[in-house]
Amino acid sequence: MRFTDCSALLLSLFFVPCAMQAMPKERTLPLTPREVACTELKLARIQRRMASVGSGDIGGTLGTLALWPRAGGGGAYSGIARQHDFDSWQDFLAGAEHFAEADLAFDLLFTKNESVLDPHSPRVSQATLVRRDPGSNLVLDHTVNNPSGGPGGCCMSADFDPIVCALDLTCPQIINVDLSAVPGDSVRPPMPLVINNAAAATPNFTGLPAELLAAASSTGPGVAADALDESCGGTITSFDTHVFEILARTLAPSACYLADLNGAQCGSVGYNVALFRGTDPHTFRANIYDIQYICDNFGNCYSTTGPLELEFHVAWDGAGRLTTGDVTVLPECRGDETLDCSAPFIEVYSGIFVLPPIFPGHAEEEPAAFHGAPYLAVTPNRAKQTLKASINWAVILANSGLNSP
């Protein structure tokens, strides 16, 4: 049987849409090197203005704050601040490492040309910081034991005084965004946006943990100075943000997780983690910045170093479930290099695990989760370095709903 030209054309019109429907959907899209570099630098400027602080003496309760661009691009970001009750260096050496955590999830939006109350004033750029309650541990300020023996108990030592409060994950934590023209002390910024994870105000206490701070918005010269409301172009998909959240929930950096260096800086460093895409659809990046708050004789307390740059290659199946991959520490920068390389390892040394996500406030990361988990050792001691690790995402996320996009 032979087909006429007309019948063949009709058949082709019928079958082509069917074939198109059978093609797998692209979950992520390529980005240009310029778009990646722009996003990396912009996230670096944003995270420099941010800090997450838990209860207790501030120097020892800086959290791990992860930030990533939302689908749709522009000035929209999501993030999560994880406050860890870290174990000790001795526990790591003994193979008994563990931690509990409390989380504060948030969205951060930078917009331009927003109107203000005074109709005679020009439009301005604005920043809005909002917590996401379903992803946060909501708690109340309360009295906790004061280990220094000072007067009373407290959830946070907010002043330069002899009172040092105990780390307690049931106390509210706060997130700051500094809107000053030039960022300085991001723990106590002069022009802050502030939220916390307090479920309600507690009038019998004072300070930021005692207030109900679920959202904040304001203007400030820092938005325009750092072009935080500008777009870098490219398309970030909802699947990209899905992978960003998995990375944010599974990365566990700590100076406590290094066998050498005698536990240097264990428990005194917080981390800001900027998550973004690479040029290839299966490449994801994590830039880790060290944050410290230790005051010198001149009253200068805040310091930051980094980044330590990680590159993830991620594979997934037809349903979008992550399967396998690897993570590599990018080499130290040389000469005038500033992108696609890490700060000197003598400045950003850390042990990094990729661990199964836990239910914050209800479960603990047990020692068994660390044994055999993907691990990086970033240290200036070359003989002790581990700069690449394979990741079995199907195993890490086996008991998690996070692997259901």
Hey, where are the domains in the chain? 33-403
In the numeric block, which tokens belong to residue 250? 């599974």
Dihedral, 210, 214, 217, 218 alpha carbons, nearest 10: 10
Q: How far from the centroid of its chain's Cα atoms is residue 245's Cα? A: 9
pLDDT of residue 78: 98
Residues paired with 42 in a beta bridge: none
Longest dimension (CA), the chain: 98
Q: What is the pLDDT of residue 405?
A: 81
Q: Are 342 and 330 in contact (CB under 8 A)?
A: yes
3-state secondary structure of 133: helix
Strand partners, 288: 273, 308
Residues 261 and 80 sit within 8 Å (Cβ to Cβ): no
- Please tell me the predicted confidence (pLDDT) of residue 256: 92
Q: How many CA atoms does the CB half-sphere of 403 hold within 13 Å?
A: 21
Q: Which amino acid is at 286?
A: A
Measure the CA–CA gap between 94 and 42, rounded to whole angstroms: 40
Give me the half-sphere count of Cα atoms (radius 13 Å) on the Cβ side of residue 87: 20
pLDDT for 308: 98
- pTM metric for this prediction: 0.91
Which residue is listed with tokens 């950096």?
A: 253
Q: What pairs with residue 84 in β-bridges?
A: 101
Facing residues of 178 across strands? 192
CA angle 141, 301, 125 (to 5 degrees): 75
Task: Name beta bridge partners: 47.
Answer: none
For residue 89, the model assigns a pLDDT of: 86
Q: Spell out the per-residue pLDDT of the chain, length 405, in tens.
A: 444 444 444 444 444 444 444 445 689 999 999 999 999 999 999 999 999 998 876 777 899 999 999 998 789 999 999 998 866 889 998 999 999 999 999 999 999 888 888 888 888 889 999 999 999 999 998 877 766 555 556 777 655 454 567 678 998 999 999 999 999 999 999 999 999 999 999 888 878 888 999 999 999 999 999 999 999 999 999 999 999 999 999 999 999 999 988 888 888 899 999 999 999 999 999 999 999 998 888 888 999 999 999 999 999 999 999 999 999 999 999 999 999 999 999 999 999 999 999 999 999 999 999 999 999 999 999 999 999 999 999 999 998 899 988
Assign residue 325 a region (left: φ > 0; alpha: ψ between -120 and 50; beta: otherwise).
left
3-state helix, strand, coil in the chain (%, to 5): 20, 30, 45
80 forms beta bridges with 66, 105
Q: For residues 154 and 101, give the distance between their C-alpha atoms in angstroms, rounded to a whole number.
A: 19
3-state secondary structure of 155: coil
